[in-house]
């Protein structure tokens, strides 16, 4: 298992470099120009100087290794310096945003908590709702509950977040006026009152994202439970006189969770993608909104870094899912 993990980790390095190259070349080949929004009255030679000041004067085969160096060596050095007060970085050039002229990672660090709060909460809530639905749907297959669960997950698959979010705002913020429609990120939670406000403003974005997760995970849970419920070991367990709850919740559930856990791990990157839209609806100033603003301003370093971080997340989650599968299911051997 350890050798497999190490091999996969080593293999993910060329994968990540290739992905970085694809994103870099897409941004490079694209005809969009970061100077396009500058006034037309700037003379061409000044424009050229401005391009060089942004680091765009060099050809791509120099800038790409430079970016890799900044991302993989310089930025971690600054990180360590900040954490332990050392001086590895020694004033090396960091990745600078074109728009704000501040280091990209500082901006991301400011935005990350908002996204993580909403995304992580919604994922936990979604999974917690999905698991019991999947278990009951499978145990009582074709019952009213099962059909209702199927219908709800169909809706979760079909209603896009930009409509379910807007619908929730219309119902709960406009008509009933129970919940705020805008997520206030400046709120500091330090008392019971602010905690309640925070809870209220989180309900809608979390539920919108959770609906998508619930739809997917509950389907997998149901299918996996159905696979296991018809196995011979279930009959053996019942024949031994075990109670129904022990059979279902101990024997069947444990075996059914193996594929579901990997699905849960694999779904984490896509929920970040969904957060791009949800943040736009509820005006959360998180990573997704940062990406949209950076895109509109042709802020290439910012777009590159955020997209690549998402790619790192995907590759890591794929790896974790595969390793988890091997750990949870002793029948699977990769060596």
* DSSP 8-class letter at 142: T
Q: In angstroms, give the least distance from the CB of 322 to another protein.
A: 12
At closest approach, how far in Å is the CB of 295 from another protein? Answer: 5
Determine the Cα–Cα distance for residues 163 and 169; give it in Å rounded to an integer: 10
Residue number, 54 or 257, with CB nearest to another protein = 54
Task: Closer to another protein by CB, 65 or 160: give it.
Answer: 160
Q: How far is the CB of 37 from another protein (least distance, A)?
A: 12
CB of 154 to another protein, least distance (A): 6
CA dihedral 185, 191, 197, 200 (to 10 degrees): 110
CA dist 116 and 302 (Å) reads: 18
What secondary structure letter does DSSP report for 96?
Answer: B
Residue 252 vs 317, nearer CB to another protein: 317
Which residues share a beta bridge with 96? 103
Positions that interact with another protein (CB under 8 A): 15, 18-19, 22-23, 26-27, 30-32, 154-155, 157-160, 162-163, 166-167, 169-170, 174-175, 269, 273, 276-277, 280-281, 291-292, 295-296, 298, 303, 306-307, 310-311, 314-315, 318
In the complex, minimum distance from the CB of residue 133 to another protein, in angstroms, rounded to a whole number: 18
CB neighbours (10 Å) of residue 169?
Answer: 19
Report in angstroms how near the CB of residue 304 gets to another protein at its nearest: 9
Nearer to another protein (CB atom), residue 5 or residue 15: 15
3-state secondary structure 26-81: HHHHCCCCCCCCCCCCCCHHHHHHHHHHCCCCCCHHHHHHHHHHHHHHHHHHHHHH
Complex with another protein: residue 135 or 302, whichever CB lies closer? 302
Closer residue to another protein in complex, CB, 196/283:
283
DSSP one-letter string for 158-205:
HS-HHHHHHHHIIIIIIIS--S-SS--TT----SHHHHHHHHHHHHHH
Measure the CA–CA gap between 264 and 260, rounded to whole angstroms. Answer: 6
């Amino acid at each position: 298992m350890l050798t497999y993990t190490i091999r996969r980790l080593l293999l993910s390095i060329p994968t990540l470099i290739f992905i970085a190259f694809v994103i870099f070349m897409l941004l490079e080949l694209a005809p969009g120009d970061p100077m396009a929004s500058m006034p037309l009255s700037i003379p061409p030679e000044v424009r050229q100087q401005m391009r060089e000041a942004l680091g765009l004067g060099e050809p791509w085969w120099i800038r790409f290794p430079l970016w890799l160096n900044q991302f993989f060596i310089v930025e971690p050095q600054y990180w360590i310096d900040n954490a332990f007060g050392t001086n590895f970085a020694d004033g090396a050039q960091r990745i600078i945003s074109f728009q704000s002229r501040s280091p990209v990672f500082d901006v991301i660090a400011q935005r990350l908590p908002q996204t993580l709060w909403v995304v992580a909460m919604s994922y936990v809530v979604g999974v917690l709702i999905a698991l019991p639905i999947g278990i009951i749907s499978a145990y009582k297959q074709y019952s009213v509950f099962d059909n209702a669960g199927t219908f709800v997950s169909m809706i979760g698959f079909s209603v896009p977040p930009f409509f379910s979010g807007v619908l929730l705002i219309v119902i709960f913020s406009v008509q009933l006026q129970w919940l705020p429609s805008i997520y206030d990120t400046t709120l500091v939670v330090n008392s019971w009152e602010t905690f309640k406000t925070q809870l209220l403003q989180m309900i809608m974005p979390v539920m919108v994202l959770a609906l998508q997760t619930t739809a997917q995970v509950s389907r997998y849970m149901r299918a996996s439970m159905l696979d296991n419920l018809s196995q011979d070991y279930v009959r053996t367990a019942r024949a031994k006189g075990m109670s129904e709850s022990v059979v279902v919740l101990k024997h069947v559930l444990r075996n059914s969770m193996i594929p579901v856990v990997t699905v849960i791990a694999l779904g984490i990157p896509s929920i970040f993608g969904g957060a791009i839209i949800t943040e736009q609806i509820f005006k959360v100033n998180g990573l997704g909104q940062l990406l949209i603003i950076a895109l509109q301003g042709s802020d290439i370093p910012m777009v590159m870094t955020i997209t690549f971080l998402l790619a790192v997340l995907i590759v890591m989650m794929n790896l974790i899912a595969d390793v988890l599968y091997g750990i949870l299911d002793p029948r699977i051997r990769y060596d």
